[in-house]
Structure 1
Amino acid sequence: MSIDALKARMPAYAKDIKLNISNVLQTGELTEQQVWGAALASAIATRSPEVIAAVAAEADRHLSPEATEAAKTAAAIMAMNNVYYRFSHLTGSDYLQMPARLRMNAIANPGVDKLDFELWSLAVSAVNGCGLCLKSHEKEVIAKGASKEAVQDAARIAAVIQAVATVLEAEDALAGEARAAA
């Protein structure tokens, strides 16, 4: 599986998504490691086996083993944090004042540059829709010297990777429905 294979599976109605796949993976604001770490972490957050496999295969050519592990760690830790902090935010401030009592040591020692890990956490938070986490990670990324354009690029990667997963899953479901009706 490859990025090209994902693009080849995009139907005509998703032409914009197909065109955006390559565009978001070639940015001047992010390093190669930041791009591919954001893509891998976002792919994992989509939960789409096909998208995860394709992005992981391509990311392996651009990421060190440590960066790959850190991107996977960002997806894992944010899967937990995005649910908890979205709950805390949406239900009220009392929960935000209470200790989370969730283990999050990976954030302190991610195995890669903290800026990269924060960007990947931001991308996963965008996929998972946690506004509180998005604000927190955006603040950290900016504080560590990234530009607003770099933040936007990470969010754009997350958005396109999520759109790819959505389109492919819809196409698979529609094809299954057509087979069942036949």
Structure 2
Amino acid sequence: MGLDAIKAALPAYARDTKLNLGTVLGTSPLTAQQLWGTALACAFAARNAFVLREIAAEAADHLKPEAIEAAKGAASIMAMNNVYYRSKHLIGDDAYQSLPARLRMQIIGNPGVDKADFELWSLAVSAITGCGVCLESHEKTLIGTGIGREAVHEALRIAAVVHAAAVTLDAESALTA
């Protein structure tokens, strides 16, 4: 169950992903809440049911219920915000920048956990979905709260390996269907 199940499910050609998954989630300098909240939010964003179930099961051993809900909330709100802000940016017309979002985002102001942890989770989800505007915004906020670049870097590493595991297992599932 958990990470061991994901690693066991990965095919031989994904050995690097398997090893990186164990290393990144096994030796992180992040707090347990930062680490497992990031992994859980990334598993939601990566959209693979197996990876999500297994990371959620393992995260439950390390997170309080309010942190689990906040990590899921970070993935949910960033699913919306990443599309909206990335799209405004990619259109390339500055006139869109002055238009208000008029989208409800109250969880960002009151996530139910330490704001810096929620920002870290939001940054990691933004890395998976590729929203440069959100990445810049969350990184700036994190640096402003005293979270160092090392923590930001760790969140990006977690996002990368969780996403790689999800993509690999999705592809293998498609090939055997």
1:59-100 CA deviation, whole Å, 9 max, x = no partner? 000000000000000000000000000001101222122111
Q: Is 1:113 aligned with 2:114?
A: yes
1:88-144 CA deviation, whole Å, 9 max, x = no partner? 110122212211110100000000000000000000001111000000000011111
More divergent stretch after superposition (104-113 vs 23-32): 23-32
Paired residues, number: 176
Q: 1:166, 1:21 → 2: CA distance?
A: 13
- Deviation, 1:28, is 4.5
> Is the 1:70–1:112 Cα contact (8 Å) retained in structure 2?
yes
Partner residue in 1 for 2:147: 146
Q: 1:155, 1:96 → 2: CA distance?
A: 27
Identity %: 62
Amino acid at match of 1:56: A
> Is the 1:45–1:79 Cα contact (8 Å) retained in structure 2?
yes
Amino acid at match of 2:8: A
> Is the 1:125–1:133 Cα contact (8 Å) retained in structure 2?
yes
Q: Is 1:164 aligned with 2:162?
A: no
- Unaligned stretches of 5+ residues in structure 1: 177-182
Q: TM-score, normalised by structure 2?
A: 0.97
Q: TM-score, normalised by structure 1?
A: 0.94
- Deviation, 1:26, is 3.0
> Is the 1:126–1:134 Cα contact (8 Å) retained in structure 2?
yes
Amino acid at match of 1:155: L
Q: 1:11, 1:94 → 2: CA distance?
A: 48
- Deviation, 1:27, is 4.1
Amino acid at match of 1:52: L
- Deviation, 1:151, is 0.2
Q: Is 1:33 aligned with 2:33?
A: yes
Partner residue in 2 for 1:72: 72
Q: Is 1:56 aligned with 2:56?
A: yes
Amino acid at match of 1:34: Q
Q: 1:126, 1:163 → 2: CA distance?
A: 12
1:153-182 CA deviation, whole Å, 9 max, x = no partner? 001000100000000011111112xxxxxx
